[in-house]
Structure formats: C-alpha cells, structure tokens
Amino acid sequence: MQIQIDSFILYLATERGLSAAYQLSVQQSLDKLTTWSKEHGHQQWRDLGTDELTSFLSHLRKKGLNASSVRITLVHLKIFFRFLQKRQLIDFDPAEPILAPKTASKLPETLNSQAVNQLLSSIDSSKKLAKRDLAILELFYSSGLRLSEICSSRLEHLDLEEQFLRVTGKGNKTRLVPIGGRALDAIQSYLTQERPLLVTRKSSSEIFISVRGTPLSPDRVRQIVKERAKQAGIQQNLYPHLLRHSFATHLLENGADLRVIQELLGHADISTTQIYTHVDQKRLKSIHQQFHPRG
C-alpha cells in the first residue's frame, strides 16, 4: 500500500506541481487510512469499497475531527483513488459516490474602509522602517496578495511603469496583479529612500528585506501587521489575510465583477470567490435593518 502512496505523492509533486505543504497534508490523510485499513484486516487498496471508506470517515468524526477537516480528507481520498483507477491498480473508484459532509459557512473577517484608512494614515514615514512597512500594508490592501506572495515578490517581478507585479500563487500559477496609485507611491518611496540602506552582501532581489538585508519571513510580516495595527489604535485582530479579504470585499461593494475579483485573487474556482457575495449580502441586510422603517 505504501508503494502506491509514494507513487501518488511523487505524481502530485512532479506532474501537478502542488506545494510541499499540500503533499504533506495528503500524505497524512493516506497514512491514517492505511493504519485504519490494516487494523480492520484490509491489506490492499482493492480491499476497500465505498462502505469501508465511509466507515473510515465516520471513524475520523468520532475521534473529534470537524466536518471541514473530514471534507479535506475526502478530497484527498477522491484524487488518490482516481489516480489508482486510472493506472488500473484498482477495478473501480470507491470514493466517487461519497458525498462530502456539510460545513457551516464561515464568512471572512474584514476591516471597513475607515479602519483601513486609519491604519495606513497612522504610519509616520519619517521613522525608521516606516516606508517599508507602509509599502507592505499598501500592497496587501491594493492588490489582495497572499502573505507568501508578498514575501516572495522580487524586484524583477515589479513593473513600476506599467504598475503591475507578477506573482506566483498556489499551484505555481503566475498572474499579473495591478498596483494602486497610493501603493505605487509607497513602494517607490521605499525602493529609492529606504531599501538601499538595508541592502547588504547577503541581500538578494526580494522587494521587502529586513534590517539585516535578508528577506522578510512570513512570521515577521505578520508581526509587522499586528504592530502597526496596535500603533494605529485598531482593536480588531489584524492579520495579513484579513487585508486580502478586505481588498476583495471592498471591490465587490463598489461594483467590481466577481470574475475580475477571482482573477485578481488568483482563485482557481469561482466558488471560492463567491463567499464575498455573502459578505456583501450581510452588509446590505444590516443597512436595510438599520434604516428601513420596518427593517
């Protein structure tokens, strides 16, 4: 059984180009299935049918795994058994008929536009590292980038004249992201006045670097976001992905097409982007209840 798992993980890495983190997540799901299967006397993948896989998922729920995590495990099983069937290692796909458990819809947190302005206007650009931190925050909110995309952005990916940044997102997919005017000004100020002072022999071409000239780590960027929020007097728990959510929500509130937002965010599936329509519907309902005489 382990041979097929190893072959599948190699397939995810080489043919699908999926991240090491995703490969590890799949590996963990399949290791749990292997352990459960052997405990129940199943020594080959051919021994497992739909009933057995359903029992395995029920076993995970009984052990305390939430519905969202079970859904992820089921996705792993579906792509794994589809892989086995295509290579004629099993006669049929036992995972195909299984329906995913329903999960409660959790709307993303956002900052309102006033709080975003409060955050960005609170930074005194004359202070040390302020230009760098302002450029990071402006770019998060202007372009809706993921934390990993901010950290991996390089000078050669930046086109200041055309106002675009080329980023590589999930699944090694590359997209061009526009940079807003204020973010562009902040980035130019940082690149001309502050970054040259941070460069050392250790420095490479990452846009955002530390006082030691090394690339900023994701943990350090999270820390910067929290520190700047605290200094701005924002009580809400602020983290990089919340700025991404705010970017998408504010675009939708101002009339942007959902397909355009999908492209800007780098979502492979429109269903991932559709959660922001629920955020907007919630806002509209709140406004209606607040201002309508019979709301």
Question: What totals of helices (H) and strands (E) does the chain contain, helices first?
Answer: 14, 3
User: What span, in angstroms and rounded, lies between the C-alpha atoms of 295 and 293?
Assistant: 6
Q: How far is CA 170 from CA 25, 45, 143, in A?
A: 15, 30, 16
SS3 of residue 122 by DSSP: coil
Q: Where are the alpha helices (DSSP H) in 110-255?
A: 113-121, 130-143, 147-152, 181-193, 195-198, 218-231, 240-253
- Decide: 166 and 160 in contact? Cβ < 8 Å: no
- Catalytic site residue from 170, 175, 226, 283: 170
- Catalytic site residue from 131, 132, 195, 276: 276
SS3 of residue 254 by DSSP: coil
170 is catalytic: yes
244 is catalytic: yes
- Decide: 130 and 227 in contact? Cβ < 8 Å: no
32 is catalytic: no
- Catalytic site residue from 78, 175, 220, 241: 241
- Catalytic site residue from 42, 244, 245, 250: 244
- Catalytic site residue from 154, 166, 267, 283: 267
Q: How far is CA 225 from CA 16, 18, 145, 162, 264, in A?
A: 33, 28, 14, 27, 22
- Catalytic site residue from 131, 132, 146, 195: 146
- Decide: 186 and 134 in contact? Cβ < 8 Å: yes
87 is catalytic: no
Could you give the residue numbers annotated as active site? 146, 170, 241, 244, 267, 276
